Structure 1
Amino acid sequence: MRNSIASKWVKRYPSTRGPRLRLLCLPHAGGSAAFFHGWPPAFSDDIEVLVARYPGRHDRLNDPLMTSMDDFADALTTEILPFTDVPLAVFGHSMGASLAYEVALRLYREHNVALSALMVSGRTPPHLADRTFPDPDDVAAVLDEVRRLGGTDTALLEDPDLADLILPAILADFKVVAGYTPRASVALPFPVVAYVGDSDPDVDTATMSGWADASSTSFELQVFPGDHFYLVGQQTELTRNIGSRLRQSGLPGGRTPLS
Protein backbone atom coordinates (compact mmCIF):
# COMPACT_ATOMS: atom_id res chain seq x y z
CA MET A 1 0.00 0.00 0.00
CA ARG A 2 1.18 3.52 -0.71
CA ASN A 3 0.41 4.47 2.87
CA SER A 4 3.29 2.23 4.00
CA ILE A 5 5.93 4.29 2.17
CA ALA A 6 8.87 5.04 4.45
CA SER A 7 12.07 6.96 3.90
CA LYS A 8 14.80 8.16 6.23
CA TRP A 9 14.71 11.38 4.17
CA VAL A 10 11.07 12.12 4.96
CA LYS A 11 9.17 12.65 8.19
CA ARG A 12 5.50 11.99 7.62
CA TYR A 13 2.52 13.53 9.38
CA PRO A 14 -0.26 11.32 7.97
CA SER A 15 -3.66 12.79 7.25
CA THR A 16 -6.59 11.37 9.18
CA ARG A 17 -8.02 10.07 5.92
CA GLY A 18 -6.49 9.17 2.59
CA PRO A 19 -4.55 12.21 1.40
CA ARG A 20 -5.92 14.28 -1.45
CA LEU A 21 -2.61 16.09 -1.61
CA ARG A 22 0.80 16.07 0.07
CA LEU A 23 2.82 19.11 1.15
CA LEU A 24 6.59 18.68 1.35
CA CYS A 25 8.43 21.22 3.54
CA LEU A 26 12.16 21.87 3.12
CA PRO A 27 14.12 23.59 5.93
CA HIS A 28 16.72 26.34 5.69
CA ALA A 29 20.51 25.94 5.90
CA GLY A 30 21.37 24.63 9.33
CA GLY A 31 17.72 23.79 9.93
CA SER A 32 16.03 20.48 10.61
CA ALA A 33 12.63 18.85 10.29
CA ALA A 34 11.80 20.12 13.79
CA PHE A 35 11.41 23.64 12.36
CA PHE A 36 8.06 22.59 10.84
CA HIS A 37 6.76 20.52 13.75
CA GLY A 38 3.88 22.93 14.40
CA TRP A 39 2.62 23.04 10.82
CA PRO A 40 0.65 19.79 10.29
CA PRO A 41 -2.35 20.64 12.53
CA ALA A 42 -2.90 23.82 10.50
CA PHE A 43 -4.03 21.93 7.41
CA SER A 44 -7.21 20.05 6.56
CA ASP A 45 -7.43 16.35 7.27
CA ASP A 46 -6.99 15.37 3.61
CA ILE A 47 -3.51 16.93 3.37
CA GLU A 48 -0.51 14.89 4.43
CA VAL A 49 2.50 16.93 5.53
CA LEU A 50 5.98 15.67 4.71
CA VAL A 51 9.14 17.31 6.07
CA ALA A 52 12.59 16.62 4.67
CA ARG A 53 15.13 15.14 7.05
CA TYR A 54 18.53 16.38 5.99
CA PRO A 55 21.65 14.28 6.69
CA GLY A 56 23.76 15.08 9.72
CA ARG A 57 21.08 16.02 12.23
CA HIS A 58 18.77 14.34 14.74
CA ASP A 59 18.10 10.72 13.77
CA ARG A 60 20.40 11.09 10.73
CA LEU A 61 23.29 12.46 12.77
CA ASN A 62 25.75 9.86 11.49
CA ASP A 63 24.69 9.93 7.84
CA PRO A 64 27.20 11.42 5.36
CA LEU A 65 26.78 15.14 4.88
CA MET A 66 26.09 16.68 1.48
CA THR A 67 27.88 19.76 0.18
CA SER A 68 26.45 19.97 -3.35
CA MET A 69 22.99 21.25 -4.29
CA ASP A 70 22.83 18.90 -7.26
CA ASP A 71 23.66 15.86 -5.13
CA PHE A 72 21.17 17.01 -2.52
CA ALA A 73 18.41 17.47 -5.08
CA ASP A 74 19.16 14.19 -6.86
CA ALA A 75 18.93 12.22 -3.61
CA LEU A 76 15.79 13.94 -2.34
CA THR A 77 14.03 13.60 -5.70
CA THR A 78 14.62 9.84 -5.65
CA GLU A 79 13.28 9.60 -2.10
CA ILE A 80 10.21 11.75 -2.71
CA LEU A 81 9.16 10.12 -5.98
CA PRO A 82 7.13 7.30 -4.31
CA PHE A 83 5.01 9.97 -2.59
CA THR A 84 3.82 11.42 -5.91
CA ASP A 85 0.93 8.96 -6.28
CA VAL A 86 -1.24 11.93 -5.25
CA PRO A 87 -0.63 15.61 -6.12
CA LEU A 88 2.35 17.16 -4.38
CA ALA A 89 3.07 20.76 -3.39
CA VAL A 90 6.47 21.87 -2.09
CA PHE A 91 7.39 24.69 0.29
CA GLY A 92 11.02 25.61 0.92
CA HIS A 93 12.57 28.36 3.00
CA SER A 94 15.95 29.97 2.26
CA MET A 95 18.28 27.15 1.14
CA GLY A 96 15.16 24.98 1.14
CA ALA A 97 13.63 27.21 -1.55
CA SER A 98 16.53 26.56 -3.93
CA LEU A 99 16.33 22.86 -3.12
CA ALA A 100 12.56 22.92 -3.71
CA TYR A 101 13.08 24.40 -7.16
CA GLU A 102 15.75 21.86 -8.09
CA VAL A 103 13.57 18.97 -6.90
CA ALA A 104 10.58 20.37 -8.81
CA LEU A 105 12.73 20.64 -11.93
CA ARG A 106 13.91 17.04 -11.64
CA LEU A 107 10.46 15.66 -10.90
CA TYR A 108 9.09 17.31 -14.02
CA ARG A 109 11.96 16.77 -16.45
CA GLU A 110 12.98 13.27 -15.42
CA HIS A 111 9.75 11.75 -14.07
CA ASN A 112 6.94 13.75 -15.71
CA VAL A 113 5.60 14.84 -12.33
CA ALA A 114 4.13 18.34 -12.19
CA LEU A 115 3.73 19.89 -8.75
CA SER A 116 0.44 21.37 -7.60
CA ALA A 117 2.47 24.39 -6.55
CA LEU A 118 6.05 25.43 -5.87
CA MET A 119 6.21 27.75 -2.86
CA VAL A 120 9.51 29.48 -2.17
CA SER A 121 10.43 31.66 0.77
CA GLY A 122 13.21 34.10 1.59
CA ARG A 123 15.63 33.14 -1.16
CA THR A 124 17.08 34.59 -4.36
CA PRO A 125 15.81 32.92 -7.56
CA PRO A 126 18.11 30.56 -9.49
CA HIS A 127 19.27 33.11 -12.07
CA LEU A 128 20.53 35.62 -9.51
CA ALA A 129 23.74 35.42 -7.49
CA ASP A 130 23.46 35.32 -3.71
CA ARG A 131 26.24 37.46 -2.27
CA THR A 132 25.00 37.42 1.31
CA PHE A 133 26.42 34.09 2.49
CA PRO A 134 29.94 34.05 3.97
CA ASP A 135 32.83 31.81 2.94
CA PRO A 136 31.70 28.38 4.17
CA ASP A 137 35.29 27.55 5.20
CA ASP A 138 35.36 30.54 7.56
CA VAL A 139 33.77 28.99 10.64
CA ALA A 140 33.65 32.21 12.62
CA ALA A 141 31.93 34.05 9.76
CA VAL A 142 29.39 31.24 9.34
CA LEU A 143 28.55 31.33 13.04
CA ASP A 144 28.18 35.10 12.91
CA GLU A 145 25.77 34.73 9.99
CA VAL A 146 23.73 32.08 11.81
CA ARG A 147 23.48 34.35 14.84
CA ARG A 148 22.58 37.35 12.67
CA LEU A 149 19.73 35.58 10.90
CA GLY A 150 18.58 33.73 14.00
CA GLY A 151 17.14 30.64 12.29
CA THR A 152 19.06 28.09 14.32
CA ASP A 153 18.73 28.09 18.11
CA THR A 154 21.88 30.05 18.77
CA ALA A 155 21.88 29.01 22.41
CA LEU A 156 22.88 25.54 21.22
CA LEU A 157 25.99 27.00 19.61
CA GLU A 158 27.14 28.38 22.97
CA ASP A 159 27.32 24.87 24.43
CA PRO A 160 30.61 23.33 23.19
CA ASP A 161 29.27 19.77 23.24
CA LEU A 162 26.10 20.63 21.33
CA ALA A 163 28.01 22.89 18.95
CA ASP A 164 30.28 19.98 18.04
CA LEU A 165 27.17 18.00 17.07
CA ILE A 166 25.38 20.60 14.97
CA LEU A 167 28.22 22.63 13.48
CA PRO A 168 29.23 20.09 10.77
CA ALA A 169 25.72 20.12 9.29
CA ILE A 170 25.60 23.93 9.33
CA LEU A 171 28.96 24.20 7.55
CA ALA A 172 27.91 21.58 4.98
CA ASP A 173 24.68 23.46 4.23
CA PHE A 174 26.59 26.71 3.77
CA LYS A 175 28.81 24.93 1.25
CA VAL A 176 25.67 23.80 -0.58
CA VAL A 177 24.50 27.41 -0.83
CA ALA A 178 27.92 28.80 -1.74
CA GLY A 179 28.30 26.29 -4.57
CA TYR A 180 24.85 26.97 -6.02
CA THR A 181 25.88 29.33 -8.81
CA PRO A 182 23.38 31.24 -10.96
CA ARG A 183 21.64 29.36 -13.76
CA ALA A 184 18.81 30.19 -16.11
CA SER A 185 15.41 29.78 -14.47
CA VAL A 186 13.27 27.19 -16.19
CA ALA A 187 9.62 28.17 -16.57
CA LEU A 188 7.81 25.19 -15.09
CA PRO A 189 4.16 24.47 -15.96
CA PHE A 190 2.69 24.99 -12.51
CA PRO A 191 2.07 27.91 -10.13
CA VAL A 192 4.94 29.49 -8.20
CA VAL A 193 4.23 31.46 -5.03
CA ALA A 194 6.99 33.49 -3.37
CA TYR A 195 6.95 34.53 0.30
CA VAL A 196 9.17 37.07 2.03
CA GLY A 197 9.38 39.12 5.22
CA ASP A 198 9.08 42.86 4.66
CA SER A 199 12.25 43.50 6.69
CA ASP A 200 14.34 40.57 5.50
CA PRO A 201 17.91 41.94 5.59
CA ASP A 202 19.09 39.96 2.58
CA VAL A 203 16.13 39.34 0.26
CA ASP A 204 13.76 42.11 -0.75
CA THR A 205 10.48 42.02 -2.65
CA ALA A 206 12.12 42.96 -5.95
CA THR A 207 14.48 40.00 -5.65
CA MET A 208 11.67 37.62 -4.75
CA SER A 209 9.69 38.85 -7.75
CA GLY A 210 12.37 37.26 -9.92
CA TRP A 211 10.87 33.86 -9.08
CA ALA A 212 8.20 34.70 -11.69
CA ASP A 213 10.63 33.33 -14.26
CA ALA A 214 10.23 29.86 -12.72
CA SER A 215 6.59 29.49 -13.83
CA SER A 216 4.93 29.43 -17.22
CA THR A 217 1.43 29.52 -15.68
CA SER A 218 1.12 31.88 -12.71
CA PHE A 219 3.18 33.72 -10.12
CA GLU A 220 2.23 35.50 -6.91
CA LEU A 221 4.29 37.33 -4.32
CA GLN A 222 3.11 37.33 -0.70
CA VAL A 223 4.76 39.67 1.82
CA PHE A 224 4.52 39.18 5.59
CA PRO A 225 5.71 41.36 8.46
CA GLY A 226 9.08 40.23 9.75
CA ASP A 227 12.70 39.50 8.97
CA HIS A 228 14.32 36.48 7.32
CA PHE A 229 12.57 34.19 9.78
CA TYR A 230 9.17 35.86 9.58
CA LEU A 231 7.82 32.28 9.50
CA VAL A 232 8.15 31.98 13.26
CA GLY A 233 6.07 35.02 14.21
CA GLN A 234 3.71 34.65 11.25
CA GLN A 235 3.22 30.88 11.38
CA THR A 236 -0.55 31.06 11.80
CA GLU A 237 -1.05 33.52 8.95
CA LEU A 238 1.46 31.77 6.70
CA THR A 239 -0.01 28.30 7.14
CA ARG A 240 -3.51 29.75 6.68
CA ASN A 241 -2.37 31.28 3.38
CA ILE A 242 -0.79 28.03 2.23
CA GLY A 243 -3.76 25.97 3.35
CA SER A 244 -6.14 28.21 1.42
CA ARG A 245 -4.12 27.65 -1.74
CA LEU A 246 -4.07 23.88 -1.20
CA ARG A 247 -7.83 23.79 -0.73
CA GLN A 248 -8.48 25.42 -4.09
CA SER A 249 -10.48 23.25 -6.44
CA GLY A 250 -8.98 22.15 -9.71
CA LEU A 251 -5.44 22.33 -8.35
CA PRO A 252 -3.04 20.86 -10.90
CA GLY A 253 -0.41 18.30 -10.06
CA GLY A 254 0.57 14.69 -10.49
CA ARG A 255 2.09 12.67 -13.27
CA THR A 256 1.79 14.02 -16.79
CA PRO A 257 1.64 11.85 -19.90
CA LEU A 258 4.93 10.97 -21.49
CA SER A 259 5.50 12.88 -24.70
Structure 2
Amino acid sequence: MTSGMDSDTWFRRYSTTATPRSRLVVLPHAGGSASFFHPWGRAFGGDTEVLVAKYPGRQERLADPFVGSMDMLADQVTAALLPFADVPLTLFGHSMGASLAYEVVRRLERRHAVRPAALHVSSREAPHRLTRRALYQEEDSALIAELRRLGGTDSALLDDPDVQEFVLPALRADLTIVDCYGPRPATPVSCPVHAWVGDADPSTSAWEMNAWADVAPCGFQLRVLPGGHFYLVEQHDAVVRALSAQLVAAGFE
Protein backbone atom coordinates (compact mmCIF):
# COMPACT_ATOMS: atom_id res chain seq x y z
CA MET A 1 0.00 0.00 0.00
CA THR A 2 1.21 3.45 -0.83
CA SER A 3 1.59 6.34 1.59
CA GLY A 4 -0.94 9.12 1.95
CA MET A 5 1.58 11.56 0.48
CA ASP A 6 1.84 9.43 -2.66
CA SER A 7 -1.94 9.47 -2.99
CA ASP A 8 -2.02 13.24 -2.52
CA THR A 9 0.67 13.56 -5.15
CA TRP A 10 -1.27 11.55 -7.70
CA PHE A 11 -4.85 12.74 -7.15
CA ARG A 12 -6.68 16.01 -6.84
CA ARG A 13 -9.28 15.08 -4.27
CA TYR A 14 -12.70 16.70 -4.07
CA SER A 15 -13.64 15.53 -0.60
CA THR A 16 -17.25 15.22 0.48
CA THR A 17 -18.69 16.47 3.75
CA ALA A 18 -19.83 12.98 4.71
CA THR A 19 -18.24 9.56 4.40
CA PRO A 20 -18.46 8.77 0.69
CA ARG A 21 -20.55 5.83 -0.50
CA SER A 22 -18.55 5.63 -3.74
CA ARG A 23 -15.58 7.22 -5.49
CA LEU A 24 -15.19 8.37 -9.08
CA VAL A 25 -11.60 8.20 -10.34
CA VAL A 26 -11.00 10.34 -13.44
CA LEU A 27 -7.99 9.78 -15.69
CA PRO A 28 -7.38 12.63 -18.19
CA HIS A 29 -6.32 12.57 -21.82
CA ALA A 30 -2.85 12.96 -23.33
CA GLY A 31 -1.49 16.41 -22.58
CA GLY A 32 -4.36 16.94 -20.17
CA SER A 33 -4.38 17.97 -16.53
CA ALA A 34 -6.60 17.65 -13.50
CA SER A 35 -7.88 21.18 -14.03
CA PHE A 36 -9.69 20.09 -17.20
CA PHE A 37 -12.06 18.07 -15.02
CA HIS A 38 -12.51 20.66 -12.28
CA PRO A 39 -16.24 21.06 -13.18
CA TRP A 40 -16.71 17.41 -12.24
CA GLY A 41 -15.34 17.88 -8.73
CA ARG A 42 -18.63 18.75 -6.99
CA ALA A 43 -21.05 17.58 -9.68
CA PHE A 44 -21.99 14.17 -8.30
CA GLY A 45 -23.49 14.84 -4.89
CA GLY A 46 -22.30 14.39 -1.34
CA ASP A 47 -22.17 10.60 -1.44
CA THR A 48 -19.51 10.54 -4.18
CA GLU A 49 -15.93 11.62 -3.77
CA VAL A 50 -14.15 12.59 -6.99
CA LEU A 51 -10.45 11.89 -7.54
CA VAL A 52 -8.77 13.31 -10.65
CA ALA A 53 -5.33 12.04 -11.58
CA LYS A 54 -2.48 14.54 -11.59
CA TYR A 55 0.05 13.35 -14.14
CA PRO A 56 3.70 14.32 -13.56
CA GLY A 57 5.33 17.12 -15.51
CA ARG A 58 2.48 19.66 -15.36
CA GLN A 59 0.77 22.10 -12.99
CA GLU A 60 1.71 21.40 -9.37
CA ARG A 61 3.81 18.41 -10.52
CA LEU A 62 5.79 20.43 -13.04
CA ALA A 63 9.11 19.42 -11.50
CA ASP A 64 8.29 15.69 -11.46
CA PRO A 65 9.76 13.60 -14.30
CA PHE A 66 7.44 12.22 -16.96
CA VAL A 67 6.55 8.53 -16.84
CA GLY A 68 7.93 6.52 -19.74
CA SER A 69 5.32 3.85 -20.47
CA MET A 70 1.70 2.88 -19.96
CA ASP A 71 2.68 -0.02 -17.70
CA MET A 72 4.78 2.22 -15.45
CA LEU A 73 2.01 4.80 -15.29
CA ALA A 74 -0.63 2.17 -14.51
CA ASP A 75 1.53 0.64 -11.77
CA GLN A 76 1.99 4.00 -10.06
CA VAL A 77 -1.63 5.09 -10.36
CA THR A 78 -2.82 1.72 -9.05
CA ALA A 79 -0.53 1.92 -6.01
CA ALA A 80 -1.71 5.45 -5.22
CA LEU A 81 -5.35 4.38 -5.55
CA LEU A 82 -5.29 1.49 -3.07
CA PRO A 83 -5.98 3.61 0.05
CA PHE A 84 -9.24 4.74 -1.58
CA ALA A 85 -10.54 1.24 -2.28
CA ASP A 86 -12.52 1.02 0.96
CA VAL A 87 -15.66 2.04 -0.97
CA PRO A 88 -16.75 1.11 -4.52
CA LEU A 89 -14.52 2.64 -7.19
CA THR A 90 -15.72 3.75 -10.60
CA LEU A 91 -13.02 4.64 -13.12
CA PHE A 92 -13.57 7.07 -16.01
CA GLY A 93 -10.77 7.52 -18.52
CA HIS A 94 -10.86 9.85 -21.50
CA SER A 95 -8.71 9.14 -24.59
CA MET A 96 -5.28 8.09 -23.23
CA GLY A 97 -6.99 7.89 -19.85
CA ALA A 98 -9.28 5.14 -21.17
CA SER A 99 -6.35 2.83 -21.84
CA LEU A 100 -4.88 3.78 -18.48
CA ALA A 101 -8.17 3.13 -16.68
CA TYR A 102 -8.39 -0.31 -18.28
CA GLU A 103 -4.85 -1.18 -17.17
CA VAL A 104 -5.51 0.10 -13.64
CA VAL A 105 -8.67 -1.99 -13.36
CA ARG A 106 -6.75 -5.06 -14.49
CA ARG A 107 -4.13 -4.45 -11.81
CA LEU A 108 -6.68 -3.78 -9.09
CA GLU A 109 -8.48 -7.03 -9.87
CA ARG A 110 -5.56 -9.36 -10.51
CA ARG A 111 -2.95 -8.08 -8.08
CA HIS A 112 -5.02 -6.68 -5.23
CA ALA A 113 -8.40 -8.50 -5.38
CA VAL A 114 -10.19 -5.16 -5.72
CA ARG A 115 -13.16 -5.29 -8.08
CA PRO A 116 -14.19 -1.81 -9.22
CA ALA A 117 -17.89 -1.05 -9.60
CA ALA A 118 -17.48 -0.02 -13.24
CA LEU A 119 -15.03 1.00 -15.94
CA HIS A 120 -15.92 3.93 -18.21
CA VAL A 121 -13.81 4.35 -21.35
CA SER A 122 -14.13 7.43 -23.53
CA SER A 123 -12.90 8.23 -27.05
CA ARG A 124 -10.23 5.54 -27.29
CA GLU A 125 -10.10 2.21 -29.09
CA ALA A 126 -10.13 -1.07 -27.18
CA PRO A 127 -6.68 -2.48 -26.37
CA HIS A 128 -6.81 -5.20 -29.04
CA ARG A 129 -7.87 -2.72 -31.74
CA LEU A 130 -5.13 -0.15 -31.26
CA THR A 131 -2.66 0.72 -34.02
CA ARG A 132 0.80 1.92 -33.07
CA ARG A 133 1.81 5.36 -34.29
CA ALA A 134 4.91 7.53 -34.00
CA LEU A 135 3.38 10.98 -33.64
CA TYR A 136 5.50 11.59 -30.55
CA GLN A 137 8.57 11.60 -32.81
CA GLU A 138 7.22 14.30 -35.12
CA GLU A 139 8.08 17.98 -35.04
CA ASP A 140 6.20 20.40 -32.81
CA SER A 141 4.14 21.61 -35.77
CA ALA A 142 2.68 18.11 -36.19
CA LEU A 143 1.67 17.99 -32.53
CA ILE A 144 -0.02 21.37 -32.81
CA ALA A 145 -1.85 20.14 -35.92
CA GLU A 146 -3.09 17.11 -33.96
CA LEU A 147 -4.39 19.34 -31.17
CA ARG A 148 -6.27 21.41 -33.73
CA ARG A 149 -7.71 18.27 -35.33
CA LEU A 150 -9.05 16.92 -32.05
CA GLY A 151 -10.27 20.26 -30.69
CA GLY A 152 -10.59 20.93 -26.97
CA THR A 153 -7.97 23.71 -27.05
CA ASP A 154 -8.63 27.27 -28.15
CA SER A 155 -7.08 27.54 -31.61
CA ALA A 156 -5.82 31.06 -30.90
CA LEU A 157 -3.95 29.82 -27.83
CA LEU A 158 -2.14 27.26 -29.95
CA ASP A 159 -0.61 30.12 -31.95
CA ASP A 160 1.03 31.52 -28.79
CA PRO A 161 4.68 30.38 -28.47
CA ASP A 162 4.49 30.63 -24.68
CA VAL A 163 1.49 28.29 -24.64
CA GLN A 164 3.27 25.89 -26.95
CA GLU A 165 6.33 25.87 -24.71
CA PHE A 166 4.12 25.01 -21.74
CA VAL A 167 1.87 22.42 -23.41
CA LEU A 168 4.08 20.53 -25.85
CA PRO A 169 6.50 18.74 -23.46
CA ALA A 170 3.66 17.07 -21.54
CA LEU A 171 1.81 16.27 -24.75
CA ARG A 172 4.89 14.69 -26.34
CA ALA A 173 5.56 12.63 -23.19
CA ASP A 174 1.98 11.39 -23.11
CA LEU A 175 1.96 10.61 -26.82
CA THR A 176 5.05 8.48 -26.23
CA ILE A 177 2.96 6.45 -23.80
CA VAL A 178 -0.03 6.33 -26.15
CA ASP A 179 1.80 5.56 -29.36
CA CYS A 180 3.90 2.76 -27.84
CA TYR A 181 0.97 1.02 -26.14
CA GLY A 182 -0.91 -1.80 -27.83
CA PRO A 183 -2.31 -3.67 -29.51
CA ARG A 184 -2.75 -6.05 -26.60
CA PRO A 185 -4.88 -9.15 -26.01
CA ALA A 186 -8.53 -8.54 -25.17
CA THR A 187 -8.11 -9.53 -21.52
CA PRO A 188 -11.54 -9.28 -19.84
CA VAL A 189 -12.27 -7.34 -16.68
CA SER A 190 -14.77 -8.47 -14.05
CA CYS A 191 -16.78 -5.24 -13.84
CA PRO A 192 -19.26 -3.68 -16.29
CA VAL A 193 -17.74 -1.54 -19.03
CA HIS A 194 -19.35 1.64 -20.34
CA ALA A 195 -17.99 3.13 -23.57
CA TRP A 196 -18.51 6.77 -24.57
CA VAL A 197 -17.85 8.57 -27.85
CA GLY A 198 -18.86 11.69 -29.73
CA ASP A 199 -20.67 11.11 -33.00
CA ALA A 200 -18.21 13.39 -34.83
CA ASP A 201 -14.99 12.24 -33.14
CA PRO A 202 -12.21 12.32 -35.77
CA SER A 203 -10.07 9.84 -33.85
CA THR A 204 -12.50 6.98 -33.26
CA SER A 205 -16.05 5.89 -34.04
CA ALA A 206 -18.98 4.22 -32.34
CA TRP A 207 -18.17 1.04 -34.29
CA GLU A 208 -14.60 1.04 -32.95
CA MET A 209 -15.72 1.81 -29.39
CA ASN A 210 -18.12 -1.13 -29.56
CA ALA A 211 -15.09 -3.44 -29.54
CA TRP A 212 -14.73 -2.76 -25.80
CA ALA A 213 -17.54 -5.31 -25.44
CA ASP A 214 -14.87 -7.96 -26.06
CA VAL A 215 -13.35 -7.26 -22.63
CA ALA A 216 -16.69 -6.87 -20.83
CA PRO A 217 -18.26 -10.26 -20.03
CA CYS A 218 -19.99 -8.71 -17.01
CA GLY A 219 -21.90 -6.15 -19.04
CA PHE A 220 -21.33 -3.54 -21.72
CA GLN A 221 -23.04 -0.30 -22.73
CA LEU A 222 -22.16 2.14 -25.50
CA ARG A 223 -23.22 5.79 -25.33
CA VAL A 224 -22.92 8.01 -28.40
CA LEU A 225 -23.37 11.73 -27.75
CA PRO A 226 -23.30 14.72 -30.08
CA GLY A 227 -19.83 16.20 -30.45
CA GLY A 228 -16.24 15.52 -31.34
CA HIS A 229 -13.30 14.12 -29.42
CA PHE A 230 -14.08 16.41 -26.49
CA TYR A 231 -17.85 15.86 -26.57
CA LEU A 232 -17.79 15.66 -22.76
CA VAL A 233 -17.28 19.45 -22.55
CA GLU A 234 -20.35 20.44 -24.55
CA GLN A 235 -22.32 17.45 -23.22
CA HIS A 236 -21.27 18.01 -19.60
CA ASP A 237 -24.77 17.81 -18.14
CA ALA A 238 -25.71 14.65 -20.03
CA VAL A 239 -22.48 12.91 -18.99
CA VAL A 240 -22.91 13.92 -15.35
CA ARG A 241 -26.50 12.67 -15.28
CA ALA A 242 -25.61 9.29 -16.71
CA LEU A 243 -22.57 8.86 -14.49
CA SER A 244 -24.52 9.96 -11.41
CA ALA A 245 -27.10 7.23 -11.93
CA GLN A 246 -24.40 4.58 -12.09
CA LEU A 247 -22.56 5.99 -9.07
CA VAL A 248 -25.68 5.95 -6.93
CA ALA A 249 -26.16 2.28 -7.74
CA ALA A 250 -22.48 1.54 -7.04
CA GLY A 251 -22.68 3.10 -3.60
CA PHE A 252 -25.24 0.57 -2.49
CA GLU A 253 -23.50 -2.59 -3.67
Query: Relative to 1, partners in 2 of residues 1:24 and 1:249: Cα closer, same or farther, differing over 3 Å?
Result: closer
Q: Secondary structure at the match of 1:63?
A: coil
Deviations 1:212-235 (A, max 9, x none): 112221000011011111011000
Match of 2:176 in 1: 175
Q: Aligned letter for 1:36?
A: F
Q: What's the CA shift string for 1:62-110, capped at 9, x where partnerless?
A: 1001231111111111111111111110000000000000011111111
1:164 corresponds to which residue? 165
Report how far residue 148 of structure 1 moved.
1.3
Are 2:128 and 2:183, in contact at CA under 8 Å, matched by a contact in 1? yes
1:257 is matched with none
1:132 and 1:202 in contact (8 A); partners too: no
* Separation of aligned partners in 2, 1:241 and 1:181: 29
* Distance in structure 1 (CA, Å) of the matches to 2:121 and 2:65: 26
The residue that corresponds to 2:38 in the other structure is 37
Question: Given the superposition, is the C-alpha separation of residues 21 and 78 from structure 1 closer, same or farther in structure 2, using an over 3 Å criterion?
Answer: same
Other-structure match for 2:227? 226
Q: CA deviation at 1:4?
A: 9.5
CA distance in 2, matches of 1:20, 1:249: 8
CA contact (8 A) 2:150 2:229 kept: yes
Cα distance in 1 between the residues matched to 2:135 and 2:83? 36
Structure 2 CA distance for aligned equivalents of residues 22 and 130 of structure 1: 32
Does the 8 Å CA contact 2:148/2:155 hold for their aligned counterparts?
yes
Amino acid at match of 1:102: E
Whether 1:101 and 2:119 are equivalent positions in the alignment is no
Query: What's the secondary structure of 1:113's corresponding residue?
Result: coil
Partner of 1:78: 79
Task: State how 1:38-53 maps to structure 2 within 5 Å.
Answer: 38-53=39-54
The alpha-carbon distance between structure 1 residues 52 and 154, as it changes in their structure 2 partners (threshold 3 A), is: farther
What is the deviation of 1:164?
1.7
1:57 corresponds in structure 2 to 58
Report if aligned partners of 1:25, 1:49 keep a CA contact under 8 Å in 2.
yes
User: Are the counterparts in 1 of residues 187 and 215 from structure 2 also a CA contact under 8 Å?
Assistant: yes
Instruction: Deviation per CA, 1:189-222: give whole Å up to 9, x if none.
Output: 1100000111111211110000011222100001
Aligned residue for 1:185, secondary structure, equals coil
Q: Helix, strand or coil for the counterpart of 2:237?
A: helix
Give the 3 Å change call, closer, same or farther, for CA 247–237 of structure 1 in structure 2: same
Q: Deviations over 1:121-164 (max 9, x none)?
A: 00000001236773434322111101211234444433323322
Aligned partners of 1:17, 1:242: CA distance in 2, in Å? 20
Structure 1 distance, partners of 2:250, 2:29, is 30
SS of equivalent residue, structure 1 residue 51 = strand
Task: Tell me: CA distance 1:146–1:46, structure 2 relative to 1, closer, same or farther (3 Å).
Answer: same
> Structure 1 residues 175, 70: CA separation in 2 closer, same or farther (over 3 Å shift)?
same
Task: Compute the RMSD of aligned alpha carbons.
Answer: 2.0
The alignment covers a number of residue pairs equal to 251
State the alpha-carbon separation in 2 of the partners of residues 102 and 202 from structure 1.
21
Correspondence for 1:129: 130
Give the stretch that moved more between structures: 65-74 or 225-234.
65-74
Which has the larger displacement, 40-49 or 224-233? 40-49
Q: Which amino acid is the alignment partner of residue 198 of structure 1?
A: D
Cα pair 2:21 2:251 within 8 Å, conserved:
no
Unpaired runs of 5+ residues, structure 1, are 253-259
Please say if residues 13 and 50 of structure 2, whose CA atoms lie closer than 8 Å, have aligned partners that are also in contact: yes
CA distance in 2, matches of 1:220, 1:246: 15
In structure 2, C-alpha distance between the alignment counterparts of 1:110 and 1:35, rounded to whole Å: 30
SS in 2 for 1:164: helix
Unaligned runs of 5+ in 2: none
Question: Identity of aligned pairs, percent?
Answer: 50
Q: If each structure's helix is expressed as a fraction of its own residues, which one has the higher value? A: 2
